[in-house]
Amino acid sequence: MKAIFERRSIRKYKPDPLTEETIREILEAAMAAPSAGNEQPWEFIVINNRTVLNEIPKIHPHASMTKEAPVAILVCGNLKKEVHKDLWPQDCAAAVENILLTVTDKGLGAVWTAVYPREERVAGMRKLLNIPEHVVPFALIPIGYPAEEKPPIKRFDAARIHYNKW
């Protein structure tokens, strides 16, 4: 519950690198996400090459923070692993949320930047990272030690709750 309520979109990072162990733990959490029919259609590209990170904002107009982030994880959907047609985005979204919560729990910061369904972003990331056609870039998550602080935010709104009917 603590990570859920403390999670915020962090867009400024310190240059300190993440350990391979930390990245692995984040990816283990991502792969623990639920998926339709247990299809687990996700693939992950860990980007820690500064040249590649600096190229991303040319493709994704809302990912300028990759110029500061020590690492980014691109969550992709592998259409060859699809068991239940068109549910892979939901599965990948669950993996993204697990990444965000794990990052928060570890005292790190991250932000979800959407790639799919923006065709120009999908095509750009596919070209930059040599991603095959049957794999769809879904979301890019820049991650690092936060260089900004954001207080927890309350979003609960009882007016949005409906019982048994609208």
What pLDDT is stored for residue 2 in this prediction?
92
Average pLDDT over residues 128-145: 98
Query: Could you tell me if 37 and 101 are in contact, meaning their C-beta atoms sit under 8 angstroms apart?
Result: no
Which element (helix H / strand E) includes 1? none
Taking only the tens place, the pLDDT of each residue in 41-74 is: 999 999 999 999 999 999 999 999 999 999 999 9
CA distances from residue 122 to 71, 74, 110, 118 in whole angstroms, order as listed: 19, 11, 20, 6
Taking only the tens place, the pLDDT of each residue in 76-100 is: 999 999 999 999 999 999 999 999 9
Is the bond preceding residue 142 a cis peptide, omega within 30 degrees? no
Q: Give me the chain's average pLDDT, please.
A: 97
For residue 81, give the DSSP letter.
G
Residues linked to residue 77 through DSSP beta bridges, in sequence order: 42, 136
For residue 134, give the DSSP letter.
T
Of how many residues is the chain composed? 166
Q: How far apart are CA 111 and CA 155, in angstroms?
A: 18
Average pLDDT over residues 19-39: 97
What pLDDT is stored for residue 130 in this prediction?
98
What pLDDT is stored for residue 146 in this prediction?
98
CA distances from residue 106 to 9, 49, 72, 143 in whole angstroms, order as listed: 15, 22, 16, 11
Domain boundaries of the chain, sorted by first residue = 2-142
Rounded to two decimals, the pTM is 0.96
Percent of the chain with pLDDT over 70: 100
Q: How far apart are CA 78 and CA 67, in angstroms?
A: 27
Q: Quote the crossing angle between the two packed helices 119-129 and 50-59, to the nearest 10°.
A: 160
Residue 16: band (very low, low, confident or very high) from pLDDT cuts 50, 70, 90: very high
Pick the CATH number of 2-142 from 3.40.109.10, 3.40.50.1820, 3.40.50.300, 2.60.40.10: 3.40.109.10
